[in-house]
Amino acid sequence: MATSITMPKLGLTMTEGTISKWLKKEGDSVAAGDSLFVVSTDKLTYEYRAEVTGTLLKIVVPEEGTVAVGGEVGIVGEADESVEAVPAAKVVSVEISKASGTGPVVASPSLKESSVNASPKARAFAKARGIDLSLIAGHGEPPMVHLADARAYADARIVNATPKARSLARERKVDLSAVAGHGEPPMIHVADVEAWLAANKVKSSPLAAKMAAELGVDMAGLGLDRRVMSGDVMKAAGIVPATSAAEAPEAVKTCENEADVKPMTKMRQIISERMTESVTAIPAVNYQTDVDCTALKAMRNALKNGGAKLSFNDIIMKACARVLMEMPMCNCSTDMERKCYVMHGFVNIGLAVAVDGGLVVPNVKNVQTKGLAEISGESAALVEKARSGSLMPDDMSGGTFTISSLGMFGIKHFTPIINPPESCILGVTMIEDRAVVRDGQIAIRPMSTFCLTADHRSVDGADAAKFLQRLKELLENPYLMLL
């Protein structure tokens, strides 16, 4: 029996993937376990292995084509089998359906919904679609409903549409559930999408159109007899006070032309959502201390002379793991929905790595159990995978603490933003020679400023200060880590 091959779900936040390369051609034999195609997302690439044996009867999504998670990408069956007998695949995969329900449920806001931990964009999207947030499963620790979760929930319904119709709908930001198909069973074709666009044509500025798509605002439903502007969209989403576009500041109006708009990449969208979530949902406080790196440099040089390839970050990671095991609240996650702290018995330290167009944070697992050589090897491998775009979902999940190091860029001071659902992030700056006082005398020492950003819901000021104090003690006397 012919089987639909669908786009796999490679992470909690993944909603669509791109077929970057087919490794089999139509008519090729396929065995279970064979590499079938390569999937690319905003952060990683993944080689999909077939789960069935047969012949690749049809490639539905060509190379460089993008499809939603669970969308049909190809068909495998017997060599002489008809592909027409294969039922259309669902737009959203089983994993999303299990997490979010089988389809959108329209409901009025409730007390239960208002208590849901959700990002501002997810709330605006749900409000515009009339979706009860309390029915959507979030992700992370503590669980939070993100825009991707709300979109996945809204799309978790069976919609029969041709690949070209889906592509056009994605490009023009059309909700396929609102488009009527034709035939038996009903199937949405390109002509159906084009007819819907013609019937719901709304004049708007490019910026307003992009904002409406991002926030889930139906511009046709605004009932305006003029061009829709960004202020109208923000008003409908409940983001700004109810003021008309005519009252918007002139500075806003002058930006509404195509030359001033630069679309975000998928990676930038995710970074923007997570950082907005961090600064709006987490009461973060910053703490700083100066570290004398004399002994740290001496230890690294001695180990390098012995053949070990270690970076300062490797040693800092080891020291942080030691302190985090001693101070578990700095290593926990806050779950406001359940009113509890999620205590982690392990330390997974994330490394903020700059890549083309954004930032990724893979993490070294169980740092508290590893020696410096193992930490160094794993962190170097993760950095290389990040820069080559070959990180896997497991590489970026499960982090409990993050280190962001900007010393190589000559940065002397910065305040990093917490990576939810973690409680803390450590910012590390450049090591530079400074004049300091030692035993009443001025001396020149290699110094670095460390900044800890902590979630005040789990880490009080005194505990954050103790964390930095203990970390400073270990780094200024690194051989204490051997005890």
Higher-confidence residue of 219 and 470: namely: 470
Question: Mean pLDDT lowest for which of 27-36, 50-59, 100-109, 248-257?
Answer: 100-109
What lies within 8 Å, CB to CB, of 124 at 6+ separation is: 215, 216, 217, 237, 238, 239
Please tell me which residue in 28, 260, 394, 460 is annotated as part of the active site.
460
Q: Which residue has the tokens 């160094």?
A: 376
Tell me: cis bond preceding 8? Omega within 30 of 0 counts: no
Range in 126-135, 140-149, 229-238, 371-380 the model is least confident about: 126-135
Active site residue 456: yes
CA angle 436–417–466, rounded 5-degree value: 50
Domains contained in the chain, CATH given: 3-91 (2.40.50.100), 97-267 (no CATH), 282-482 (3.30.559.10)
pLDDT classification of 388: cutoffs 50, 70, 90 = confident
pLDDT, mean of residues 65-72: 82
Highest mean pLDDT among 165-169, 195-199, 255-259: 165-169
pLDDT at 127: 67
Instruction: Please give the residue that has the higher pLDDT: either 180 or 470.
Output: 470
Split at pLDDT 50, 70, 90, the class of 478 is: very high
Residues 77-136 have pLDDT tens digits of 888 777 664 444 333 332 323 333 333 333 333 444 456 788 877 777 676 555 677 777
State the pLDDT at residue 424. Answer: 96
pLDDT in tens, 173-191: 676 766 777 776 667 888 8
pLDDT band at 143 (very low <50, low <70, confident <90, very high): confident
Per-residue pLDDT, 376: 94
| Whole-number Å distance between alpha carbons of 324 and 364 | 14
pLDDT surpassing 50 at residue 40: yes
d(CA 144, CA 334): 11
At residue 182, the pLDDT reads: 75
Give pLDDT tens digits for 272-320.
877 887 888 899 999 999 999 999 999 999 998 888 889 999 999 999 9
Count CA atoms closer than 13 A to 394's CA, side-chain side. 2
Predicted confidence at residue 244, as pLDDT, reads 43
The highest-confidence range among 138-152, 255-269, 339-353, 386-400, by mean pLDDT, is 339-353
- Of 170 and 244, which is predicted with more confidence? 170
What's the pLDDT score for residue 339?
Answer: 87
Q: Are 320 and 403 in contact (CB under 8 A)?
A: yes
> Structure tokens of 411?
């940065």
pLDDT of residue 413: 94
> Helices in 216-331 by DSSP H: which ranges?
230-237, 250-253, 266-281, 294-305, 312-326
Of the ranges 81-95, 221-235, 335-349, which one carries the lowest mean pLDDT score? Answer: 81-95
Least confident of 215-219, 350-354, 395-399, 425-429: 215-219
pLDDT at 444: 97
Catalytic residue among 139, 218, 290, 456: 456
Q: What is the mean pLDDT of the chain?
A: 79
Burial string for 163-182 (b: 16+ CB within 10 Å, else e) reads bebbbbbeeeebebeebebe
Best mean pLDDT range from 43-52, 60-69, 173-182: 60-69
Return the percentage of the chain with pLDDT > 90, whole number: 35
Catalytic status, residue 463: no
Q: What is the pLDDT of residue 213?
A: 65
| pLDDT of residue 417 exceeding 90 | yes
Grade residue 153 by pLDDT with cuts at 50, 70 and 90: low
| Residue 430 clears pLDDT 50, i.e. is over it | yes
pTM of the predicted model over 0.85: no
